[in-house]
Chain A
Amino acid sequence: MAGLDSVGEKTRDKAGPRAGLLARIRPFTGVIALVVLCAVFGSREPRFLSPDNFFNILNAIAIVGILAVGQAFPLIGGGFDLSQGAIASLTGAVVARLMSQHGLPMPAAIAGGLAAGMLLGYINGLLVARVGINPFVATLGTQIAFFGLTNVYTNNQPLSLGNQADAFRQISFGQVGMLSYGSVLFLAMVVLLAFTLRLLPYGQHLYTLGGNEEATRLAGLDTARLKISTYVLSGLLAAVGGLVLTARAGQASPVAGTGYELQSLASCIVGGIALGGGLGGAWNVLLGAVTLGVIDVGLQMAVNAPNWRPVIQGLIILLAVAVDARARMRR
């Protein structure tokens, strides 16, 4: 994998003079694929290309997108987080219960949910960085345990949002112009991610950690603390996504977050963040989430055979990643 020299994404896409066509267009393959997809869907359903649908897609991907921003931290740092969906479920339940059962005002309940998300992320971080469990196993284990905890905490029942339900649901349904609050949150998180990765020393440390852990340690950085921080951020963002999820559903269902961790991982990887760490940026998260959203909404509009949609969806994802992989090999 990339060494210290390819810290940051700036050096990543430099195609050498002898590079093939694929490698030359590689920085743009994602965008080209997106344009082609939109053209295909638009030719089958003209309304797909309406401005309204642009905002619809942004709203559709808000939850997965927010989780994907969180996922980017452990991914770039060389790990990943399979417990995000469970954290979204559990923190959604925490917020709902703080409002409906304990009568807390909405901002306090939201703060409680976000704190819970960070705590759960911290547990992941400890298991990976201090106990030394492989991130896949560690976060798979906590995924199971956190979903279990959600069921214990909710007694398997969806929780109502109490008398603040209408205000809380604005988190998903409220609008600024054409943008839903959920999409605004998502875009804000992408901007924050870009800022963190490009302008803060922390961002550089993350790329270094993902690129070469041993060198990072030798450079005098506390790798364990760095790793833990990535899982705390992933947990926090999963909780933010959980807020939007709960607001959208109008209740906190214990199973609402099922499968979201894989969608967030897929967004990152389709967007070009490598498994293994050290590469990728906020742009990749945005590109990946939008691409998956375009496929999702486009297939719903253009293909009236629900059973075939996942087949086509899988093939498009594989094609996108395959082109990317070929371009890397030719470099």
Chain B
Amino acid sequence: MKRIMDRRRWLLTAAAAGCSVALSACGGNSTSNSAPGGSDEVPSSTPATTASGSSGSGQSLGCTIPTFSHPFFVAMKKGLEEEAKAAGATINVVDGQDSAQKQISAIDNFVVQKVDAVILCPTETETLPPGVQKANQAKIPVVTVNRTVGGGDVVTYVGADDTEGGRLQGKAIMEAFPKGAKIALLQGVLGSSPQRNREAGLEEALKGHPEFQIVTRAPYKFQRADAVKVMETILLQFAKGEIDAVVAQSDDGALAAADVCGQKGRTEIKIIGFNGESDAFDYIRDGKIHATILQDAETQGREAVKATLKHLKGEAVDNPQITPLYLITKENLDQYKPAWQSGSA
């Protein structure tokens, strides 16, 4: 008898070991994944999520977002986690570390875990369809948030329309300069969907108005220090009067541009940002930045969870669900709350 018990225990141990090997094998990246973002809870919470899912105490959601290292996505993560908690569901948010491959393997893991639904904010639109298709094959519904995905079946998209944001930037320029303007465009990460769509929106707004010209474009990778560098060169290349406005694809670029313009005495230049973080609100109040586009990442996260749970209950869900963007200037600043606090102490 004892012998059989022993044998059973041995088998169990072996099975468990096999499982963990399999898990770590298909999540090859997710182990290295776990370094930044304190997301080392990913592997360890895996069994927990599955357990609570099977015990029927609530829906289990798997989610992956492009990075944990940008406050925009930290705000989104907060919205996702708080809304799930409020609804009694569990959610496992995995750091994509700006790698489509890591996001695909995260989805692989979710399929193995048999989560009830996947919420995806893809790093890249065109490289994530295989991940979505794998979830589709496993009959796990997918909701995309903030960024769209180029293939596979998606229940709905929840998020803002970056193209519309770019159009709003263009509108702000046209209102500030009725007679036309020469514009420097500070671009985010080249090829990323916010860069492409915000630029497309801006160009669309300026189309048919030859008095508005984008005279130079410079990428700054959404990094402030890089924006300082490219802005200094722009001011050198374009003397006073040769440039009227700077459009940056995030507030990081706008804030850096404002710092450089302030230092070089070029405050005649009007600067427009994107995102609406608290530093940008302060700079707008001080007149250092002309305007920004406010997009609320936390609300997007909340709405994505709401839509997902609604779908799991069998209710109809609108597709897409566009969350609004707001043009923030000195005039309406006080009616809005910043998207996030810029620097934590």
Shortest Cβ-Cβ A-B pairs, 4 listed? A160-B343, A148-B35, A249-B224, A151-B36
Interface residues, chain A, with chain B CB atoms under 8 Å away: 45, 47, 50, 52-53, 56, 59-60, 63, 100-101, 144-145, 147-148, 150-152, 154-162, 169, 172-173, 245, 248-251, 253-256, 297, 300-301, 304, 306-307
Q: Closest residue of chain A to B216, judged by CB?
A: A304
Q: Sort chain B's interface into a size bin.
A: 35 or more
Tell me whether chain B's interface is mostly helix, strand or loop, or mixed: helix
Q: Closest residue of chain A to B224, judged by CB?
A: A249
**30 A–B contact pairs at CB < 8 A?**
A47-B237, A56-B233, A59-B229, A59-B232, A60-B229, A63-B225, A100-B345, A101-B345, A144-B32, A145-B35, A148-B35, A148-B36, A148-B37, A150-B36, A151-B69, A152-B38, A156-B74, A160-B344, A248-B225, A249-B224, A250-B256, A253-B224, A254-B36, A255-B69, A256-B223, A300-B216, A304-B215, A306-B187, A306-B217, A307-B190
Set of chain B residues within 8 Å of A60, measured between Cβ atoms: 229, 232-233
Set of chain B residues within 8 Å of A172, measured between Cβ atoms: 228
| Interchain CA distance A162-B345 in the complex, whole Å | 7
**A306 near B68: Cβ-Cβ < 8 Å:** no
**A151 near B217: Cβ-Cβ < 8 Å:** no
| Interchain CA distance A144-B40 in the complex, whole Å | 13
**B71 near A157: Cβ-Cβ < 8 Å:** yes
| Interchain CA distance A243-B232 in the complex, whole Å | 19
Q: Closest residue of chain B to A259, judged by CB?
A: B221
Tell me whether chain A's interface is mostly helix, strand or loop, or mixed: helix
Determine if B174 is an interface residue (Cβ-Cβ < 8 Å).
Answer: no
**A156 near B37: Cβ-Cβ < 8 Å:** yes
Interface residues of B in 213-261 (CB under 8 A from A): 215-219, 223-225, 228-230, 232-234, 236-237, 255-256, 259
Determine if B323 is an interface residue (Cβ-Cβ < 8 Å).
Answer: no
Q: Closest residue of chain A to B232, judged by CB?
A: A56
Determine if B332 is an interface residue (Cβ-Cβ < 8 Å).
Answer: no
| Interchain CA distance A306-B188 in the complex, whole Å | 11
Q: Closest residue of chain B to A143, judged by CB?
A: B35
Set of chain B residues within 8 Å of A159, measured between Cβ atoms: 343-345
Of A50, A158, A162, which one neighbours B71 at CB under 8 angstroms?
A: A158
**A306 near B236: Cβ-Cβ < 8 Å:** no
**Shortest Cβ distance from A243 into chain B, in angstroms?**
12
Set of chain A residues within 8 Å of B342, measured between Cβ atoms: 158, 160, 251
**B223 near A249: Cβ-Cβ < 8 Å:** yes
